[in-house]
Amino acid sequence: MSKMNEQHITTGGMKMRMKIGIVGAGYVGLVSAAVFADWGHDVVCVDHDAEKIGRIRAGDLPVYEPGLADMVERNRQAGRLRFTTDLSRTAGELDLLIIAVGTPAADDGHPDLTALWNVVHSLKQCVKGDLTVAIKSTVPIGTCQAVSRFLNGHPGSRFDVVAAPEFLRQGTAIADFLSPDRVVIGCRTEAAKRKMQQLFAPLACPLLFTDWQSAEMIKYAANAFLAMKISYINTIANLCEQVGADIQQVALGIGLDRRIGPAYLQPGIGFGGSCLPKDTQAIVALGKDYGVDVSLFREVLRVNREQRGRIVQKLADRLGGVQGKTIAVLGLAFKANTNDVREAPALDIITRIVQAGGEVVAYDPAVNMESLKNDFCFTPAADAYQAVTGADAVVILTEWEEFHGLDLQQIRSLMRHPLVIDGRNLYAPHMMKQHGFHYVPVGVPEQEVAEAAATTV
């Protein structure tokens, strides 16, 4: 615990050390639990999955997140962080209960709130007295209101519901949690506002207090905007390939305009993960529910799907079809520094290659490939060199640091054909050309790749 945080929890004469319950031991729940415990609070993290809790207690976290395992262990040893499956035994003693369960997309694009409502029903049964309940799960607009109505339907207990959307990214979750651009809190009472001000006092960022609906909407709107920026830059990249421009230079030139900003202008294979696709789908479903034209976001999703297809098309164009060809796929995770493959573009791309008659050998440094190989019909490799051995082409789908440092000479010598389709623009085109590769990045015309090589030789 840092000096600053020790001061935070003891100054002002108020009770600053809170007893916090967090339901849901996924990304958001575990990171929140670890950080709040690190700030000195007494935290209990609850999950109904006994196997998961057993693994966590044994030091085996269900998510791969840099720095998280150490932070969890440090706080467990200090007695500030506990894990349990039993909500009823702890809920009654808490100052604050945070709900951070998953709300995955249902088939119709709406989030599935089953897990959230299960928690809410349990709370109503086991809490007698007052409790502040903060909802960190991403929930449709109107959920906090519905939860508050349900919980406060009977006399005896008073539940103060707070919307507390989370904006952390996988792979940088702890850093994002500790230095967010803002914290958004939707609440209705002064008491809840004060509690959340105390909780987030260690952060140097603005705290934005809003009504419930606006806080819920901010989460969807922010993620849909990021998704839109990625589909936008991918569309510009596709144009660059045809008109002879270089997307890296173009993105730099666009991003230097402060009205636009440089973030989320990296072109590639489109967005994946547990949030951007789901939350953009949810906005589309919302538009349908309320009769609002949200075709902009339908298009964002369509462009995103097409971007995956373009990778397979690039392969087929250069190999004369992928039927009977062996394709090495480097990277399965939806982005680097995570083992998460939810909505991972790589799995979709592999499926398309296999459906077109190609054979896939895949490698990822963090993803558990054994659990995926049968469903997605690929052969796992122990490392990148094994994956590329005898390959007709290599496709790079995750920007792992490890792939930056590959011995390109060796990779070239192991491949049957020197075709590299780079969905993440990891390498300098001239360097790849010098190593004898036929290198196809995103958003750079092949003519440009060839000319860049010619001018630097």
Catalytic machinery residues = 275
Spell out the long-range contacts of 206-210 with Cβ–Cβ below 8 A and sequence spacing 24 or more: 206/182, 207/182, 207/183, 208/182, 208/183, 208/184, 209/185, 210/163, 210/184, 210/185, 210/186
d(CA 157, CA 164) in angstroms, rounded, equals 22
Subset of residues 134 to 173 that bind ligand UDX, contact rule: CB under 6 A: 166-170
Taking the complex as a whole, the smallest distance from the CB of residue 248 to ligand UDX amounts, in Å, to: 12
Q: Which is nearer to ligand UDX, 115 or 276 (CB)?
A: 276
What is the closest distance, in whole angstroms, from the C-beta atom of residue 47 to ligand UDX in the complex?
Answer: 20
CA 381 to chain centroid, in Å, comes to 25
Give the interface segment with ligand UDX, choosing from 125-133, 208-216, 269-277, 321-329 (CB under 6 A): 269-277
* Residue 273 makes contact with ligand UDX by CB under 6 A: yes
Nearer to ligand UDX, 90 or 266 (CB): 266
In the bound state with ligand UDX, the residue whose beta carbon lies nearer, of 12 and 261, is 261
As measured in angstroms, the least distance from the Cβ of 170 to ligand UDX is 4
Q: Work out whether 266 is an interface residue with ligand UDX (CB under 6 A).
A: yes
Q: Does residue 271 touch ligand UDX according to CB under 6 A?
A: yes
Q: Is 403 in the site for ligand UDX (CB under 6 A)?
A: no
Q: Which residue is nearest to ligand UDX (CB)?
A: 275
Separation CA 103–CA 137 (nearest Å): 7
Binding mask 222-251 for ligand UDX (x = CB under 6 A): -x--x---x---------------------
Tell me whether residue 33 is exposed, middle or buried, using C-beta atoms within 10 angstroms of its C-beta: 0 to 12, 13 to 18, 19 or more. Answer: buried
Q: What DSSP letter does each residue of 314-379 carry, written as one string? A: HHHHHHT--TT-EEEEE--SSSTT----TT-HHHHHHHHHHHTT-EEEEE-SSS--TTTHHHHTEE
Q: How far apart are CA 383 and CA 88, in angstroms?
A: 46
**CA angle centred on 39, ends 37 and 45, rounded to 5°:** 20
Report the nearest approach of ligand UDX to the CB of residue 309 (Å).
15
User: Cβ 222 to ligand UDX, closest distance in Å?
Assistant: 7
**Spatial distance between the Cα atoms of 194 and 201, rounded to a whole number of angstroms:** 10
In the complex, the smallest distance separating the C-beta of residue 338 from ligand UDX, rounded to whole angstroms, is 7
Core vs surface per residue 259-275: b (16+ CB within 10 A) or e: eeeeebbbbbbbbbbbb
Nearer to ligand UDX by Cβ, of 278 and 433: the residue is 278
Give the residue with the Cβ less far from ligand UDX, 272 or 418. Answer: 272
In the complex, minimum distance from the CB of residue 189 to ligand UDX, in angstroms, rounded to a whole number: 26
Number of chain residues interacting with ligand UDX (CB under 6 A): 19
Give 119 or 228: the residue with its C-beta nearer to ligand UDX: 228
**Is the CB of 159 or the CB of 220 nearer to ligand UDX?**
220
| Of 111, 272, 365, 418, the one binding ligand UDX by CB under 6 A | 272
Structure tokens that stand for 281 in this block: 């789908």
Q: Which DSSP string corresponds to 184-241?
A: EEE-SSHHHHHHHHHHTTT--SPEEEE-HHHHHHHHHHHHHHHHHHHHHHHHHHHHHH
Q: Which two tokens stand for residue 217?
A: 């909407």
- 324-343 binders of ligand UDX (CB under 6 A): 334-335
Residues that bind ligand UDX (CB under 6 A): 166-170, 223, 226, 230, 264-266, 268, 271-273, 275-276, 334-335
